[in-house]
Structure 1
Amino acid sequence: MRLLASLVAFLFFVPAATAHEFWIEPETYTVDPGDPIIAELRVGQDFKGAAQTYFPDRFARFDVKMGETTRAVEGRIGDRPAMTFVPEGEGLAVVIHETKGHTLRYSSRDLFENFVEHKDLGDVLERHAARGLPELEFREAYTRYAKSLVAVGDGVGTDTAVGLHTEIVALTNPYTDDLSDGVGVRVLLDGKPRADAQVEVFARDGDGNVTQSFYRTDAAGEAVIPVGPATEYMVDAVVMEDTGNDDPEAGPVWHSAWANLTFRTP
């Protein structure tokens, strides 16, 4: 059974190596007190992706934070949906998931260059050449840092930094605050604001239509996302880091860190 669980988990995580978004997708973003938060972990794009199983060997952290209390999400290997969690009390629940590191090799140079361009990763290509790295025969490590906001009962509360290597903090509570000016977010790297970072936003309306838009953070690492009613949002920001290793045979030469945040407007 352990071997079977490992095989199932491996198969579900293979798509991540093709470098798309990883997000937390609750069955519903508002639950009554005493009812469970049920959520899928997904990898894909445009809000379409493969559901991941609950597999502790594949994640470093899986928690729910409500106010000052943080509890681990527990489950059985192979559970799908990966999360069934009964919160205590009511308020804003912040679901937190951090994957363990994975590695990939690009099948073509175009994929690497398109990724750098699409995620606006700055001068990565120039740095790659300056380090004397090969155009294709190298590995990249990647880690996903996802959060999701769920209203339990009244949904009152505030999102805060939760100590992830990179993360997106909602400055607006989408369930209780005035959304006429949009939802403010702050992008952090090691707890510090990421200025002039690209923020990619996917919005899925009630009919399932998905739109994509891009914003940039200001000097404080903040951006404001215009929002509409009854719409699900996925906010994404990626940073590419030098691993300190310039020998492709010794290990990954780059590390991409993905921050993701999901929520739904009333």
Structure 2
Amino acid sequence: MRILAFAFIVFAAPAEAHEFWIEPTDYQVEADGSLEADIVNGEEFAGVKLAYLPQRFVNFVLFAGDASARVTGRTGDTPALQQEPVAEGLNIAAYQANSATVDYENWERFQRFVDHKDFGDVLSQHEARGLPLENFTEVYSRYSKSLIGVGNSAGADRRVGLETEIVALTNPYTDDLSDGFQVQVYYRNDLRANTQVEVFEKAADSQVSISLYQTDENGIATFPVRPGYSYMVDAVVLREPNERLAELSGAVWETLWANLTFAVPD
């Protein structure tokens, strides 16, 4: 089962486009246990927990090895994920949200976002396209994954069909982490070389630290991790929306947000 790459548009107008992630109640459960996880929208690894609302997502799927199962629930369920594991081992929860829009009253606000995500000289591209520096719109979509260890937690992360995706090359529950944790970043079937990756590290007392890394020529970023901490990894694509999406949304820029969460056992 592959997650569809196309979403029908559902519009919203949030104040800012922050991170969007899957946060399990427990990152490791017993072989006969169940999976529970919140869908969270916020920043700096803290935010609002969203209920299970099928109208808000394109797909919500669990994977383990070659097996998969759709996440099902009752409308309004919190946590949004309450389901049996697909199998013993490493389970991957993946969620593709419907697209939404955010409006910018001035260029300075958008420039702060561009600088933070290290997109380069977007202003020149914006002006070359003859776009206004005030009152313009961005459309964005979210592609979130989480790694949950079940029983022996054995297995490996893999691509699940998201248009942009972060794949863990390390199993945080079974591998030697002394040389750091590795992720590989994709956009469609291409590796994202020289791309900024933002890593959020949360301690048991919910204190969060944020670090920035760059992927190498193979789209791989390596960063240190510590026992007893949970992690969120974020990478964003900026592109010009296609003609149909631009017409539907009124947007002149499009962003695609890839996110991955996991924890390191004590």
Q: Which residue of structure 1 lines up, in the alignment, with residue 184 of structure 2?
A: 186
**Counterpart pick for 2:100 among 88, 99, 102:** 102
Q: 1:233 is matched with which residue?
A: 231
The two structures, once aligned, show a CA RMSD in angstroms of 1.9
Where in structure 2 are the equivalents of 1:148-227 lying within 5 Å? 148-227=146-225
Say how many residue pairs are matched: 254
Deviations 1:214-236 (A, max 9, x none): 00001100010111111100000
1:22 counterpart letter in structure 2: F
Secondary structure, in 3 states, of the residue corresponding to 2:261?
strand
The one of 50, 60, 63 equivalent to 1:62 is 60
TM-score normalized by structure 1? 0.91
How much has 1:88 moved relative to structure 2?
A: 3.8
Can you list the C-alpha shifts for 1:29-86, whole angstroms capped at 9, x where unaligned? Answer: 0011222111111111111101111111110110000010010000111111111011
2:251 matched to which residue of 1? 252
TM-score, with structure 2 as normaliser = 0.91
Give structure 2 stretches of 5+ with no counterpart: 1-9
Counterparts of 1:144 and 1:136 in 2: how far apart (Å)? 25
Question: Which residue in the other structure is 1:38 paired with?
Answer: 36
SS in 2 for 1:18: coil
Mapped partners of 1:144, 1:179: distance in 2: 28
Question: Sequence identity, in percent?
Answer: 48
Distance 1:233 1:257 in 2: 20
The residue aligned with 2:6 is none
Report if the CA contact (8 A) 1:161-1:191 is conserved: no
How far 1:99 moved relative to its partner?
A: 0.5
Q: Is the 8 A contact 2:164 2:256 kept in 1?
A: yes
In structure 1, how many angstroms separate the alpha carbons of the residues matched to 2:66 and 2:244?
42
Q: How many angstroms does 1:14 deviate by?
A: 5.7
- Residue by residue, what CA displacement relative to the aligned partner does 1:184-230 show, whole Å, maximum 9, x if unpaired? 00000002100000000000112221100000001100010111111
CA distance in 2, matches of 1:259, 1:244: 19
**Letter of the 1:254 counterpart:** W
Secondary structure of the equivalent of 2:186? Answer: strand
Match of residue 5 from structure 1: none
- CA, structure 1 residues 218+29, in 2 after alignment: closer, same or farther (shift >3 Å)? same
Instruction: Report if aligned partners of 1:141, 1:252 keep a CA contact under 8 Å in 2.
Output: yes
What is the alpha-carbon distance in structure 2 between the residues aligned to residue 179 and residue 126 of structure 1?
Answer: 42
Distance verdict in 2 for CA 1:41–1:127, change over 3 Å? same
Q: Which of residues 112, 125, 128 in structure 1 aligns to 2:126?
A: 128
Q: Distance in 2 between matches of 1:144 and 1:231?
A: 24
- Aligned to 1:95, the other structure's residue is in SS state strand
Structure 1 residue 248: deviation in Å? 7.7
Off by >6 Å, runs of 4+ in structure 1: 246-250
- Correspondence for 2:262: 263
Contact 1:43 1:51 in 2 (8 A): yes
2:4 corresponding residue in structure 1: none
Shift of 1:238: 0.4
| 1:79 equivalent in structure 2 | 77
Aligned CA distance change for structure 1 residues 180 and 243 (closer, same or farther; 3 Å): same
Task: Say which SS state the counterpart of residue 174 (structure 2) adopts.
Answer: coil
- 1:89 is displaced (CA, Å) by 3.1
